[in-house]
Amino acid sequence: MITVHVLNGPNLNLLGQRESTVYGSTTLVEIERLVREKAGSMGAAITFRQSNHEGHLVDWIQEAGAQGAGVVMNAGAYTHTSIALRDAIAGSGVPTVEVHLSNVHSREGFRHRSLIAPVSLGVICGFGPMSYLLGLDAVHRAMVERAKQTNPSKH
């Protein structure tokens, strides 16, 4: 069974309360429900976490890599500042898809640069909660393909 860790960075615990014109009114609990429903239909297991602390996110990325899981990551503001998250993704080799609720490219200039995008499979932004579902689909497909290449006789 494919396992995907959905990791959420700082302030995402405030979804539904903060800047609804930018992030919408959906809470992180509601996003988790949507992700779990989609994962269930795909036959994937989900670990869903949020932290305002960079070190927790680094630990969880490394944990996912050690378990052979994939990652869907909304690193929030750490996207633009965290070399530690970038290095954790690169160092663990975990297949990662970066996601954002808002279209970061239509916002402030400092949000246009991602430190984790260069070590991720891809970036999905601007689709609200659907960004997470698209990210889940993308990392799941990448992991299925990786498994086929690793064990061609089983597929």
Q: Say if residue 102 carries a ligand binding annotation.
A: yes
Residues 43-77 pLDDT 10s: 999 999 999 999 999 999 999 999 999 999 999 99
What does pTM read for this prediction?
0.91
23 assigned to active site? yes
The residue behind tokens 């429903």 is: 37
Backbone angles phi, psi at 30, to 5 degrees: -70, -40
Predicted local distance difference test score (pLDDT) of residue 27: 94
- The catalytic position among 78, 100, 132, 140 is 100
Q: Say if residue 80 carries a ligand binding annotation.
A: yes
Residues 105-123 pLDDT 10s: 666 676 668 999 999 999 9
Averaged pLDDT, 27-53: 97
Q: Say if residue 101 carries a ligand binding annotation.
A: yes
SS (H, E, C) the chain: CCEEEEEECCCHHHCCCCCHHHHCCCCHHHHHHHHHHHHHHHCCEEEEEECCCHHHHHHHHHHHHHHCCEEEEECHHHHHCCHHHHHHHHHHCCCEEEEECCCHHHCCHHHHCCCCHHHCCEEEECCCCHHHHHHHHHHHHHHHHHHHHHCHHHC
Domains along the chain with CATH numbers: 3-154 (3.40.50.9100)
Looking at the predicted structure, is the pLDDT value of residue 87 above 90? yes
- The catalytic position among 23, 78, 132, 140 is 23
Predicted local distance difference test score (pLDDT) of residue 22: 61
CA distance linking residue 16 with residue 125, whole number of Å = 18
